[in-house]
């Protein structure tokens, strides 16, 4: 799943007249690449606080008090999009993801599992994740590519920023690879609480500093920055990321479609130089900037 760091939106409506349940889920299918980019920018404006993005679909989540569902209906209808809006009660969320959550395996390297999955031998890293209402389990191409890119980097003794941490999965992997310190930030309280729980479950709480924040203010410089968000946020924060990254540091970006490559490189190359490595999977890409070796 792709992690989205979304700007907090004031409550603009009350969905109780439409739905009584705690959470609203909008699933939009058969989306063209250009429409997907527009949707990832627009949905937060309607109060959606988390998104799962795939090659030609997106699923967005909102609390009922944070959205104006009538505006959502009108916008999606006027855009001629195929969509379904449904309800998820809070108490059923864990049962839903548990019924669909399979282990994620990067052969010989990483095994991501839920607490009810057995441990497996033969992996360098094992991560236990309970996603709840946060996003980033390793199933989506963007998260799996971030982990694959991390496998090839040296984290020993490094300081790390996980920008838009979601479940904390990348921060946990950074600790397992030997970093000295991780600052994991997100502006979503679900994500922060989920990261705290997952850090405790993986016994790395003493190394991960978890912050609820929607900016990079007061973030110290880091040797490695992990940013699996979306194109619009990455463009908006390029100056801040440059300020926070140490000279000769490494920056791993994902949450990007293949079509985003030229735009992102044109914006990021003046700050970070030419990409050192690019991964591609299922229409998505992951880009590594900076010294892409094990030094």
The one-character DSSP state at 119 is P
pLDDT tens track, the chain, 295 positions: 333 333 222 222 223 222 234 678 899 999 887 787 788 778 877 877 677 777 788 888 877 777 778 888 888 999 899 999 887 765 555 565 565 677 888 888 999 988 888 888 989 999 998 866 556 666 778 889 999 999 989 999 999 999 999 889 999 999 999 999 999 999 888 889 989 999 999 999 999 999 999 899 999 999 999 999 888 899 999 999 999 999 999 999 998 888 899 999 999 999 999 998 999 988 889 999 986 444 4
Four-CA torsion 174, 178, 181, 187, nearest 10 degrees? 10
Structure tokens, 85: 């809006």
First to last CA, the chain: 30
What lies within 8 Å, CB to CB, of 143 at 6+ separation is 1, 2, 3, 136, 137, 169, 170, 228, 254
Q: Model's pTM, two decimal places?
A: 0.73
* Residue-level pLDDT at 208: 98
Nearest to 137 by CA among 284, 291, 3: 3
CA–CA separation, 125 and 51 (whole Å): 27
3-state per-residue secondary structure call for 264-286:
HHHHHHHHHCCEEEEEEECCEEE
* Residue-level pLDDT at 10: 27
Question: For the range 45-50, what are the long-range contacts, defined as Cβ-Cβ under 8 Å and sequence gap of 24 or more?
Answer: 45/9, 46/9, 46/12, 46/71, 46/72, 46/75, 47/9, 47/11, 47/12, 47/13, 48/6, 49/6, 49/188, 49/190, 50/4, 50/6, 50/133, 50/134, 50/135, 50/188, 50/190, 50/191
Q: What is the CA radius of gyration of the chain?
A: 18
Domains of the chain: 15-88 (3.30.70.340), 146-290 (3.40.50.150)
**8 Å CB contact between 227 and 164:** yes
Alpha helices in 46-153 (DSSP H): 69-78, 93-100, 141-151
The one-character DSSP state at 219 is P
CA–CA separation, 246 and 249 (whole Å): 5
Nearest to 228 by CA among 151, 150, 124: 150
* Residue-level pLDDT at 34: 76
CA–CA separation, 276 and 257 (whole Å): 18
- Residue 129, classed as helix, strand or coil, is coil
């Amino acid at each position: 799943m792709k992690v989205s760091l979304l700007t907090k939106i004031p409550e603009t409506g009350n969905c109780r007249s439409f739905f009584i349940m705690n959470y609203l889920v909008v699933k939009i299918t058969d989306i063209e690449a250009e429409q997907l980019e527009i949707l990832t920018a627009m949905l937060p404006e309607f109060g959606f606080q988390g998104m799962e993005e795939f090659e030609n679909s997106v699923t967005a989540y909102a609390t009922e008090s944070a959205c104006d569902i009538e505006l959502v209906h009108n916008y999606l209808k006027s855009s001629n999009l195929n969509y379904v809006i449904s309800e998820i009660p809070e108490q059923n969320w864990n049962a839903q993801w548990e019924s669909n959550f399979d282990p994620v395996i990067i052969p010989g390297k990483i095994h991501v599992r839920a607490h009810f999955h057995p441990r497996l031998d033969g992996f360098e890293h094992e991560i236990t994740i309970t996603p709840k209402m946060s996003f980033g389990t390793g199933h989506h191409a963007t998260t799996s590519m971030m982990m694959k890119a991390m496998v090839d980097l040296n984290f020993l003794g490094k300081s790390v920023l996980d920008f838009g941490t979601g479940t904390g999965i990348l921060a946990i992997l950074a600790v397992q690879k030997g970093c000295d310190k991780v600052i994991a930030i997100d502006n979503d309280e679900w994500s922060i609480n989920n990261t705290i729980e997952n850090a405790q479950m993986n016994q790395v709480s003493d190394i991960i500093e978890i912050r609820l924040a929607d900016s990079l203010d007061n973030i110290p410089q880091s040797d490695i920055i992990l940013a699996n968000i979306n194109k619009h946020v990455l463009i908006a924060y390029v100056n801040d990321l440059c300020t926070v990254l140490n000279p000769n540091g490494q920056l791993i970006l994902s949450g990007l479609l293949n079509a985003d490559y030229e735009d992102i490189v044109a914006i990021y190359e003046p700050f970070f130089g030419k990409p050192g490595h690019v991964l591609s999977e299922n229409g998505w890409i992951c880009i590594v900037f900076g010294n892409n070796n094990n030094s």
